[in-house]
Structure 1
Amino acid sequence: MKNNTEVSMKSVQVGAIQMISGPVVTDNLQRAKLLIAKASEAGAQLVLLPEYFAMMGQTDQDKLAIQETFGAGPIQDFLASTAREHGIYLVAGTMALRSEQAAKVKNSCLVFDPLGQCIARYDKIHLFGFDSGIEQFCESNTISAGDAVVAFDTPFGRVGLAVCYDLRFPELFRQVSDVDIWLLPAAFTATTGRAHWEVLLRARAIENQCFVIAADQGGEHPNGRVTYGHSMIIDPWGQVLNCLPSGEGLVLGELKASQMQRVRSSLPALSHRVLSLPASD
């Protein structure tokens, strides 16, 4: 690992899109297209969509009907053409890609560069399970978990990918070193969001001394599910730079390389680490 007080990132304008996706893919893509255009017009060079941006179905099984093979399909075509049209890095929340397991899909986050090329894919590793007696969720019923942490390089720095429930597992964020920006698309429930969303996001930014951009679903969906919203951008000191509490919209912000430099130079915690994750067998 290099000296983590050294900062190679460049300042960049970013946008996080908050949606209230429903069961009709074409409607969701149209709303996403309008919000992406607004982000681009405001100067965003990197735009993040939320988890399940293309569809929040009436049932968990509905996503199986719109699954695509990686590299081909109408949703991926939309993402590629939109990134190319605006000349941006477009990070596509999550969408359903075919899995090797029958009756399950991968919940995948795809990254498209300004030329419309897919340059990274992350399959959600940690699958949400929750049962309060009132609300029940079990993603493993319809989703096959990924098994690899993913980061990619851009002209403005190294970027890591995580999705929603991954936020609760700090070891994931330490698997890849020297990440300048972590991106987290989500569909956090209102119940767990009120309790834990902001504190977990700020913790990941603080302990990794990096920027965190989180794009959440944010309201009551046609299927009755209520998501928390509060899409936000957080700096390496753990300060929230911008936040959208609820509803559809856009969170914009500038990630300043000088801010990361100040944090890592004045409190070089990453280079002070003594313990590390155990080696894999």
Structure 2
Amino acid sequence: MKSIIVAALQMISTPVVEQNLATARRLIAQAAAEGAQLLVLPEYFAIMGQRDTDKLALQEEFGTGPLQDFLAQAAREFGVWLVGGTIPLRSASPDRVMNSCLAFNPHGECVARYDKIHLFGFDNGAERFCESDTIAPGSQVVTFDTPFGRVGLSICYDLRFPELFRSVGDVDIWLLPAAFTATTGRAHWEVLLRARAIENQCFVIAPNQGGLHPTGRETYGHSLIVDPWGQVLNCLPEGEGLVLAELKASQLERVRKTLPALAHRLL
């Protein structure tokens, strides 16, 4: 791994795509101006609709479409590695989309695609979420190589399934764009992110949606960057903005050398 400055971009996305893209572009420009080389947008950055079905109208074929064009152009214009939170890509079902995380290199080329595997289901009587109503699950864990290390892709609810992170061997940086609810976020967000960083001895970048949306939905915010020892390097509690940090290669190497837990695995 090589040291790098990274940014988690926290948003409060609305049902208006154009407004969300303008906000994303402003945050991308700001992060690039502050020296970030790897930028990660939150889940559903392009739309948080009035209804879960609203995203079906935005679905794109992989490789073409306005949302993919936006990400590719921004990566190329600002010369950064840009990971596009999630966008809706066409699935085999007419009533469901893939919730897909795409990574673009500084040339604007898509170098990795991950379709969310674990679909959020929650019902406490006051709040109900069932992503499987409108999303088809992915099936494959995805990593990709960069000049600054091996990067893994995960999305939101995947955080609760540690076997996903362990299934692909050693990864230097895990990315987890999310739209974690305020209810579950207050209870579990930080502790689970720190656990994934500690047990995999890696950095974790987790941009979240961050506040009260026009639809009335409330997301937790607290976008985090965590180091391999489980220390939070930076956090933004709520609102739109950036979480910036330098990921130091020496820190990763020191943790893995001092406590070589990854080498001690037997199962």
The TM-score, its normalising length taken from structure 1, stands at 0.95
Query: Does 2:261 match 1:261?
Result: no
Identity level (%): 73
Counterpart residue number, 1:91? 83
Of the candidates 107, 110, 132, which is equivalent to residue 140 of structure 1? Answer: 132
Matches of 1:93 and 1:215, distance apart in 2: 8
Counterpart residue number, 2:19? 27
Matches of 1:260 and 1:84, distance apart in 2: 29
Matches of 2:150 and 2:170, distance apart in 1: 7
Of the candidates 72, 75, 81, which is equivalent to residue 67 of structure 2? Answer: 75
Counterpart residue number, 1:250? 242
Q: Following superposition of structure 1 onto structure 2, how do residues 108-257 of structure 1 map, counting pairs within 5 Å?
A: 108-257=100-249
Counterpart residue number, 1:278? none
- 1:155 maps to a residue whose letter is P
- 1:232 maps to a residue whose letter is L
* Helix, strand or coil at the partner of 2:84: strand
Q: What is the aligned-residue RMSD (CA, Å)?
A: 0.4
Counterpart residue number, 1:51? 43
Query: How much does 1:167 deviate?
Result: 0.1
Matches of 2:243 and 2:264, distance apart in 1: 33
* Helix, strand or coil at the partner of 1:185: coil
Counterpart residue number, 1:4? none
Matches of 1:156 and 1:195, distance apart in 2: 33
- 2:226 maps to a residue whose letter is I
Gaps of 5+ in 2: none
Gaps of 5+ in 1: 1-8, 276-281
Query: How much does 1:70 deviate?
Result: 0.6
Query: How much does 1:260 deviate?
Result: 0.6
List per-residue Cα deviations over 1:33-63 (Å, max 9, x = no partner): 0000000000000000000000000000000
* Helix, strand or coil at the partner of 2:82: strand
* Helix, strand or coil at the partner of 1:253: strand
- Number of equivalences: 267
List per-residue Cα deviations over 1:140-187 (Å, max 9, x = no partner): 000000000000000000000000000000000011112000000000
Matches of 1:142 and 1:226, distance apart in 2: 20
Query: Does 2:83 match 1:105?
Result: no
Query: How much does 1:222 deviate?
Result: 1.0
List per-residue Cα deviations over 1:98-146 (Å, max 9, x = no partner): 0001210000000000000000000000000000000000000000000
